[in-house]
Amino acid sequence: MIFNCMTLCFASTAILSPTAGYVMLACFSVLWIGLGIWWGRRASSYDSFAVADRNVGMALGTATAVATWITSNTTMLAPQFALQLGVWGALAYSTASFGLFAFAPMSGRIRQLMPKGYTAVEFVRRRYGSLGSVPFLLISIFYALTWLISMSMAGGKLLEVLSGIPYPVGMSVVVSVCVIYTLFGGMYAVIGTDFIQSLIILVGLVVVAVAVLMRIDIADVHSKLETNRPMLLSYLFPAALMALFNNMLFGFGEIFHSNVWWSRAFAMREGVGPKAYALGGVLWLPVPIVAGFLGLAAPALGIGISQPDTVGPFVAATLLGTGGAFLVFVVVFCSLASSIDSLLAATADLIVNDIVEPISRKVTVTEPPTQLSDSAKRQASTIAIIALGVFAWAFAFPNVGTLATVLFFAGPMVGSCVWPIVGGLYFRSPGPLAAGAAMVFGTASGLWAYFAIGWFVASLVGASVSGLVFGVITWLSPNNFEFENLANEAT
């Protein structure tokens, strides 16, 4: 593939000693577990555990949006995009901010339509029935697991590149720490630690960016790229242009369908969501551009990279020395924790509310069916969080593929959910057949493109085919849904 040919391969040595890496890993592990337990003291019921009593304010709401969206994919994939796709690559990743901007008004609509809701799948089930909710549930679970695995892989790769800690050890510790503190406090622990993590991430990125720019002559980088790697500066790089639109649609699909974002919409106080998500998008927008510059600098400075998805941390640490390596360690570790804990909590909610509870209602012998008790839901959440952590660990352990190839395999699936979600939230006419067919055909065509062409077009193809199918079926067989039904707590 063209991307593999672009990667410079030679062995790189760790910047920090393994001892320093283990000390930092231990310190942050204790810190996050301690903060998680402290914030989680308020999680006395399932409602507080799952949606923080629906009382999250502006500051915490904005912080959790920023911290969750500044994933290791932002700090590690944005430089990889720039290394492989040039200027358009860095800009392509920044288009993911459009998803936050678009979800801002949607979060208010969600809170209005389902004031007592818990998950995105719950909305699809009430809106489209089983014909739409079954494929959506499968896509949601698969995407959550894919994202979780990619985050786990990123943790192992980061520690190995910066400090020489073996990949299996670093990956295992990162996953274990996030599982432990999420177990104690649920959404309270997640949002509380996100607030601290977002501050550390933003300050750290500013410091790293300023320090790197002070050591690099941008004009010299441009001149060397123009001579040695002109395609990285080309505005007509075909793969990069396709990746630009592919990543934008992938970002829309990620946020529109994922319970990570829906659970926060349900957790925020009424009226807070639109402002928090919009401000979060503004704060997030420059981050991948800054991180992407590190990818462009690598070939110009003659820094060899054995794994393209580690280019950002490695270049920053190489240029800034031991102090820079410490700072990069802190920033990326925080970005990892803020994403993994969010995925664990949100996916556990989905498993409890959309798999365990519906099954429990069907097998109950009482009439009407008895809902799961508060304690039973908490117990189910605990089991789900542990199971998710074990699953992610098992699939991340082999360290197969790059972060991009792992994560973007789910691209066509989430891209196919964009139109059913938007249509279902704002229009009465889309029906179950339109939603179900759009997701199935969009996913199938996008996966074909993933294997036949490449990951950089899979989401684009999936979203396009899904939109076409959704529009045609809605036009041929319009529905007349009553939105008032969504406020009914019975599922």
Give all domains of the chain, ordered by start, each with its CATH number.
2-358+370-403 (1.20.1730.10)
Q: Note if the bond before 368 is cis, omega within 30 degrees.
A: yes
pLDDT for 403-419, tens place per residue? 566 667 888 999 999 99
- Give the C-alpha separation, 353 to 114, whole Å: 14
Weakest mean pLDDT among 213-217, 262-266, 366-370: 366-370
Amino acid at 26: A
The 3-state secondary structure of 113-134 reads HCCCCCCHHHHHHHHHCHHHHH
Q: Compute the distance between CA of residue 280 and CA of residue 191 in angstroms, rounded to an integer.
A: 14
Per-residue model confidence as pLDDT tens digits over 19-55: 888 888 898 889 888 888 888 787 788 888 888 889 8
* pLDDT given at position 339: 81
In sequence order, the 6+-apart residues with CB closer than 8 A to the CB of 26 are none
pLDDT in tens, 444-467: 999 999 999 887 788 889 999 999
Q: How far apart are CA 57 and CA 280, in angstroms?
A: 13
Quick: pLDDT tens for 240-262.
777 777 778 888 988 999 999 99
Q: What is the rounded end-to-end Cα distance, in angstroms, of the chain?
A: 48
Between the CA of residue 356 and those of 256, 370, 475, what are the distances in Å? 23, 13, 36
* pLDDT average, residue stretch 313-335: 76
DSSP secondary structure string for all residues of 420-484: HHHHHHH-S---HHHHHHHHHHHHHHHHHHHHHT-HHHHHHHHHHHHHHHHHHHHHHS-----GG
CA distance 139 to 135: 6
Decide if 457 contacts 449 (C-beta within 8 A). yes
Q: Which residues contact 347 (CB under 8 A, 6 or more apart)?
A: 141, 144, 145, 148, 259, 384, 388
Contact by Cβ (8 Å): 172, 393: yes
Q: Would the pLDDT of 290 be above 90? A: no
